[in-house]
Amino acid sequence: MRILDEGNSLVFPHFENWKEVFSLLSQHLFSTPEECISFENCLQASSFDQAYKHFASYSIIAGGSESDKKAFQELFNELMEKHFKEKGISFEGIRFKLYMYWCHKEI
């Protein structure tokens, strides 16, 4: 997941490890993930908490371990502080981009 701020892309890096895990599993079950389509959108949110709850509901985070959830919350708060609060940018929403990957089941 990437959050976009004035042309800058803020990546949640600790959630990129799925590619490595999937590649180990896919050797026997699935083809290599074919990249991808992406969607850019803007979440209209009136508060950081509302935005956090939206992103935390995504399965990659909601289905993660408690330590992953905590790490996401800490990183989210850090990014909001750095890229909105410290710069005095009013918060009306967050532009973000989602990437969808797909593969084929090996027969």
The predicted structure's pLDDT at residue 89 = 82
- Amino acid of residue 64: G
What is the reported pTM? Answer: 0.64
Within the chain, where are the H helices?
18-29, 48-56, 59-62, 66-80
Whether the Cβ atoms of residue 103 and residue 30 lie closer than 8 Å to each other = yes
Band (98; pLDDT cuts 50, 70, 90): confident
Local structure of 57: helix, strand or coil: coil
Band (49; pLDDT cuts 50, 70, 90): very high
- Nearest of 62, 56, 60, 58 to residue 75 by alpha carbon: 56
Band (90; pLDDT cuts 50, 70, 90): confident
Task: Determine what percent of the chain falls in helix, strand and coil, rounding each to the nearest 5.
Answer: 45, 30, 25
